[in-house]
Amino acid sequence: MDDKIVLEDDLGNLRRSHYSFEISRKNVNEEVVVVGWISSKRDHGNVLFLQLRDQFGEVQIVVKKKETSLQLFKTLRNLKEHSSLAITGVVVEQKNSSSQIEILPKEIKILSISNKPPPFLTQAISSIGIDTRLDLRAIDLRRNYLQFVFKIRNTIINSIREYFNENYFIEVNTPKMIATATEGGAALFPIFYYDREAFLAQSPQLYKEQLTMAFESVFEIAPIFRAEPSRTNRHLSEAISIDAEKAYVDYRDMMEHLEKLIRHIVNRINSKNANELENLGIKLPNVSGSFPRITYTELINNLQANHKFIRWGDDISPKILKDIFSDEFFFITDWPASMKPFYVKSITPGNAQKESAIDEKNLLSESFDLMFGGLELSSGSTRINNKDLLIENMKKKGLNSTAFDYHLRVFDYAMPPHAGFGLGLERLVMALLKLENIRDATFYPRDIDRLTP
């Protein structure tokens, strides 16, 4: 090996020839260039074994003292994990090993040096607290466990786009700086917008409704912002929402779409991420059958029959739901209208299925929540498409309809009947992969206590 050792931040003209997964026995005796960071190192005295990791996996580098300059060998021996290298070397067959091949270096270029070891290792599940990990999130994300999680998350996002594209939905982008609260004014992040107050969007709701007038079927994958002072393991202040809206359908049609979407996602993960699932020890839920559906009223009646202290009109605790449904997908439908936002259509005797509106306080809505055990993943509904009814509902909810003029004015041009849903990406990842904390389903979590990194 050349005695020259280069310590620099610049690759120069050197470029990777192969990723780790592209090197196999068919490459034996070939010269390759591999680039990555040291995930582990074993010192056997006269031989160093370096595991060099790239985005797809690892390849073993064998550095022999007798074939290396003393300076270089000593430098490599002292290198800490996470240091980055570019290695030009020859692929050789590694006998009596499952890895099959290794690389004997001809030239090693040290690109960056790790100054100190991180406070946790890159093993499957760290015993270090999540706050310590999040303080060094980029290093935390190098752990195998989270590598598997985020590769599956990537499959989820790709399969969502695939499903919507196959079903004639158009991907849209809606404003994230808005003038008026979408959900009635609670849990908003105010911001300065030039000379006036604005807010970070809680939801693309009103914009995606308007876009059904132009495109009929739309979807968006984008951040939403909720200033909820929550410290639970299932709440974030910034999350990714998968939103869909479609004209000329109602909430039952959108439940069908949502169920098919979940089934498509699960099938894609099973086919594309078998290795990640095996390493995580996860078996995805069976989604071959239809998801159970129970109305809110039926659920309350069942709970009351089982001596649960709960009244009609109360929200239902996640713990109670998890005890009943365990880890499975199911819908709760026809919620009280009083519990839903102003744009949700009420069930009237003319369009009710099993239940009808008796009086104002018992009014039901054409709505649903998709649950996984005790975790709410999605909410959806048929929307009000009549301007007068929408204004009336705004007043009932204590909202000033004047503030929504930008939205109401389009209803003068015949807003079609429409329905939609919003699905939380992080909650879906959390449910499918049985994560204990939703913060491990997003790259850089934002919550009541965390604004960095």
Mean per-residue pLDDT, 149-174: 98
124 is in an annotated binding site: no
360 is in an annotated binding site: no
Give me the number of domains the chain comprises: 2
The four Cα atoms 418, 253, 162, 155 give a dihedral, to 10 degrees, of 110
Judged by average pLDDT, the poorest of 228-232, 392-396, 402-406 is: 228-232
Residue 452 lies in a domain: no
Residue 27 lies in a domain: yes
Average pLDDT, the chain: 91
* CATH label of the domain that carries residue 90: 2.40.50.140
- CA 358, distance to chain mean position in Å, is 40
How confident is the model at residue 3, as a pLDDT? 47
For 236-276, write each residue's pLDDT tens digit. Answer: 999 999 999 999 999 999 999 999 999 999 999 999 999 99
For 12-53, write each residue's pLDDT tens digit. Answer: 889 999 999 999 999 999 999 999 999 999 999 999 999 999
How confident is the model at residue 352, as a pLDDT? 46
383 is in an annotated binding site: yes
In sequence order, which residues have a C-beta less than 8 Å from that of residue 102 and are 6 or more positions away?
Answer: 59, 60, 61, 62, 91, 92, 94
Cα four-point dihedral sign 166, 170, 176, 179: negative
In sequence order, which residues have a C-beta less than 8 Å from that of residue 113 and are 6 or more positions away?
Answer: 7, 79, 80, 83
Residue 8 pLDDT exceeds 80: no
pTM of this prediction?
0.92
In sequence order, which residues have a C-beta less than 8 Å from that of residue 264 and are 6 or more positions away?
Answer: 159, 162, 163
235 is in an annotated binding site: yes
376 is in an annotated binding site: yes
Do residues 108 and 141 both lie within one domain?
Answer: no
226 is in an annotated binding site: yes
Do residues 153 and 93 both lie within one domain?
Answer: no
Mean per-residue pLDDT, 85-105: 87
Return the biggest CA–CA distance within the chain. Answer: 89
446 is in an annotated binding site: no
How confident is the model at residue 354, as a pLDDT? 45
Contact 287/372 with Cβ under 8 angstroms?
A: no
Joined together, the tokens standing for residue 450 give 């965390």
Kindly indicate the confidence band of residue 11, based on its pLDDT and cuts at 50, 70 and 90: confident
228 is in an annotated binding site: yes
Do residues 86 and 188 both lie within one domain?
Answer: no
How confident is the model at residue 355, as a pLDDT? 44
| 187: region left, alpha or beta (phi > 0 left; psi from -120 to 50 alpha) | left
How confident is the model at residue 357, as a pLDDT? 39
298 is in an annotated binding site: no
> In Å, what is the CA distance from 339 to each residue of 78, 312, 334, 344, 367?
62, 11, 11, 10, 10
Joined together, the tokens standing for residue 124 give 């499957």
231 is in an annotated binding site: no
Joined together, the tokens standing for residue 261 give 């979407």
Residue 395 lies in a domain: yes
419 is in an annotated binding site: no
227 is in an annotated binding site: yes
Judged by average pLDDT, the poorest of 34-48, 109-123, 148-162, 373-387 is: 109-123
The radius of gyration computed from the CA coordinates of the chain, to the nearest angstrom, equals 27
How confident is the model at residue 353, as a pLDDT? 46
133 is in an annotated binding site: no
Residue 450 lies in a domain: no
Residue 15: which domain range?
A: 6-112
Kindly indicate the confidence band of residue 327, based on its pLDDT and cuts at 50, 70 and 90: confident
236 is in an annotated binding site: yes
Question: Which residue in 315, 322, 414 sits closest to 372, CA to CA?
Answer: 322
